[in-house]
Amino acid sequence: MAVTLAMKLIFAICIIFCTSAFQAMSRTLNAATIAAAHEQWMAKQGRTYADDAEKQKRFKIFAENLQHIESFNNAGNKSYKLGLNKFSDLTAQEFIASYTGLKISNLPKPSKVASFGPLNLDDVPTRLNWTEKGAVTPVKDQGKCGSCWAFSTVAAVEGITQIKKGTLPSLSEQQLVDCVTDNHGCNGGVMDYAFKYIIDNQGIANENDYPYQAKQGSCKSVSSTAATITGFNDVPDNEEQLLQAVTNQPVSVAISVCDDFYQYQEGVYSENCYRQLNHAVTVVGYGTTDDGKKYWLIKNSWSESWGDNGYIKLWRDSGVPGGLIGIAKKASYPTI
Ligand SMILES: *[C@@H]1O[C@H](CO)[C@@H](O)[C@H](O)[C@H]1NC(C)=O
Ligand SMILES: *[C@@H]1O[C@H](CO)[C@@H](O)[C@H](O)[C@H]1NC(C)=O
């Protein structure tokens, strides 16, 4: 009762006297709204912090991210939207350091480049979705480990196995993290070395027989093999050749993750924030939106809760050489 009376009184006084007080109130409300959003987000994500200092630090980053998301989405003329996700209390730099993991520099190239020859667009369907065709396993989660390269490799091998053999296995990223000595486990790697390992090892284990740990361990031998490949090819670095490759099967690609990419929620990502190839994903299709924007359909490895159910659509034929965020620069695929 007392509170209600006091509030009524303040409210009445405000109505009469104080526009500036209203402005102050709405500023406070705004800060309070962000604080409430942070609490709600923490509860949803199960996030806890070691102490108040850590919480304050994370709150500041969360607030900046939330404000960026709001102002970006409210600007309204973009082909994609951003949103909160489990990474929303991290800066872009922190995120990239922990959750990507493509390391191209200093690694010699073990593979060959296979060109498809000039593209005949009449032979290429206008849209393709390998997930719809049953050649893509559910989206997985690399966790806090720079093993994107293992997830990209596995998705491509799962895809070609389903296409050629008719059954879709779920394969072991952990085996690659532990056993591909040319790569660096959770500290990064490339897909071509992983393809080479699978060939040399005469196969790769099932996910259940060699489950994911999100950390590097010793290489274990497993008796059963769930899939084999006989070779792998690199795709010449342009989007026409990539399109040809994707019409045959899911394709491993490298991309440059920067700026707000990690806050992507839906639509066709169109920011060319190219800096360096630092992440690996799998192109599992392509299409064109109702308003005519061409996209690549990409399976990521940041769980189903990230982006568009774990996927992202990326602007295709943007005119950027090598594709937007470098998508056509380091594409490769396994063969059976
Ligand atoms: C959005 O608006 C900005 C500024 O007016 C403009 O430069 C940009 O081309 C617009 N983008 C789209 C996708 O319409
Ligand atoms: C691709 O197929 C999957 C499975 O049918 C579906 O959930 C998804 O929306 C499709 N995506 C596109 C872009 O067509």
Average pLDDT, the chain: 90
Residue 8 has pLDDT above 90, yes or no: no
**92-335 adopts what CATH topology?**
Cathepsin B; Chain A (3.90.70)
Residue 18 has pLDDT above 90, yes or no: no
Tokens of 180: 């591909």
- Paired sense of beta strands 112-113 and 231-235, if any: parallel
Q: Which residue has the tokens 């990064």?
A: 188
pLDDT of residue 15: 45
Which 8-state DSSP code applies to residue 295? E
Residue 244 has pLDDT above 60, yes or no: yes
pLDDT of residue 112: 66
CA 126, CA 123: separation in Å to the nearest integer?
9
pLDDT bucket at 322, cuts 50 / 70 / 90: very high
The whole-number average pLDDT for the span 30-49 is: 95
**What spacing in Å lies between the alpha carbon of 1 and ligand 2's midpoint?**
55
**What spacing in Å lies between the alpha carbon of 16 and ligand 2's midpoint?**
57
In percent, how much of the chain has pLDDT > 90? 81
Q: In this predicted model, what pLDDT tens digit does every residue of 66-91 receive, in sequence order?
A: 999 999 999 978 999 999 999 999 99
Tokens of 160: 């070609």
**Which ligand has the shortest distance to the CA of 286?**
2
Q: What number of residues does the chain have?
A: 336
In percent, how much of the chain has pLDDT > 70? 87
Burial-class residue 114 by CB neighbours within 10 Å (0-12, 13-18, 19+): middle
Closest ligand 1 atom to Cα of 270 = 13
CA 178, CA 195: separation in Å to the nearest integer?
14
The whole-number average pLDDT for the span 186-197 is: 95
40 HSE (CA, 13 A, CB side): 10
pLDDT of residue 9: 47
**What spacing in Å lies between the alpha carbon of 55 and ligand 2's midpoint?**
38
The whole-number average pLDDT for the span 251-270 is: 96
Q: In this predicted model, what pLDDT tens digit does every residue of 212-227 receive, in sequence order?
A: 999 999 999 988 899 9
In this structure, of 46-55, 113-122, 149-158, 326-335, the range with the lowest mean pLDDT score is: 113-122
CA 99, CA 271: separation in Å to the nearest integer?
20
Residue minimizing CA distance to atom 2 of ligand 1: 77
Closest ligand 1 atom to Cα of 79 = 13
Residue 23 has pLDDT above 50, yes or no: no
